Amino acid sequence: NAGVMQNPRHLVRRRGQEARLRCSPMKGHSHVYWYRQLPEEGLKFMVYLQKENIIDESGMPKERFSAEFPKEGPSILRIQQVVRGDSAAYFCASSPEATKTEAFFGQGTRLTVV
Amino acid sequence: AQSVAQPEDQVNVAEGNPLTVKCTYSVSGNPYLFWYVQYPNRGLQFLLKYITGDNLVKGSYGFEAEFNKSQTSFHLKKPSALVSDSALYFCAVRRSNDYKLSFGAGTTVTVRA
């Protein structure tokens, strides 16, 4: 059973470009979470999705950031018009159920904005 | 609100010595507590969790953690550290009926040969 798969592992974007980060949850997991890790900080919750639904996006910036988890395919975290402050590691996690089990994390995507 | 504090940025120990990584938490209601480890250029790996029951929880790679409700602590321990335990360790907490994890800032563990 493959773990949570994220790609790309590293992504470099110029200021103003768009960044698209992909996450395929573990098999059988329908709950997906995105976290952001800024330098010298712990991970911060961004958004929680189930198939085709955003359940909680309270941790996501109101502008330029969006997330989706379509019926088919991976979850996508999209950042439009990136700025230097978006440089961080973005981690995706999945779980088979929301509150009774632990979440399993992917390897992360390290976004660098130049 | 919920939060986690890892008071030590770095912990250095010699191989074969005991290893302790400290964690204190704040959460309303019953806490679910977790430890994750991040090796260089790799994702977070789940080590262990406390949900309910025995205060001493055993996890992967010989690690264990003790839940102390009165001190609101969940310290990670290993009786005899290995060089391969060198990594970044994160403590996390959430409420029992929630999905949102709050992480500490992490503790870098270095085990010297």
Judged by CB atoms closer than 8 Å, whether chains meet at B100 and A56 is answered as yes
Average pLDDT, chain A: 93
3-state DSSP assignment of residue B69:
coil
Q: How far apart are CA A104 and CA A68, in angstroms?
A: 19
pLDDT of residue A42: 84
pLDDT of residue A1: 53
Judged by CB atoms closer than 8 Å, whether chains meet at A42 and B46 is answered as no
Judged by CB atoms closer than 8 Å, whether chains meet at A48 and B100 is answered as yes
Q: Give residue-wise pLDDT tens across range A88-107.
A: 999 999 999 888 788 999 99
Q: Give residue-wise pLDDT tens across range A66-87.
A: 999 999 999 999 999 999 999 9
Shortest distance between the Cα of B3 and any Cα of chain A, in A, equals: 11
Q: How far apart are CA B109 and CA B113, in angstroms?
A: 13
Judged by CB atoms closer than 8 Å, whether chains meet at B46 and A43 is answered as no
Strands B19-21 and A43-50: unpaired
Output helix, strand, coil percentages for chain B, rounded to the nearest 5: 5, 55, 40
Backbone angles phi, psi at A88, to 5 degrees: -175, 175
Assign B18 a pLDDT band (cuts: 50, 70, 90): very high
Q: Give residue-wise pLDDT tens across range B65-81.
A: 999 999 999 999 999 99
Neighboring chain B residues of A95 at a CB cutoff of 8 Å: 99
Does residue A41 surpass a pLDDT of 60? Answer: yes
Assign B41 a pLDDT band (cuts: 50, 70, 90): confident
Does residue A24 surpass a pLDDT of 70? Answer: yes
Shortest distance between the Cα of A10 and any Cα of chain B, in A, equals: 10
pLDDT of residue A98: 81
Q: Which of A9, A105, A107 to mutate to test the interface with B (most CBs of B within 10 A)?
A: A105
Q: How far apart are CA A105 and CA B14, in angstroms?
A: 29
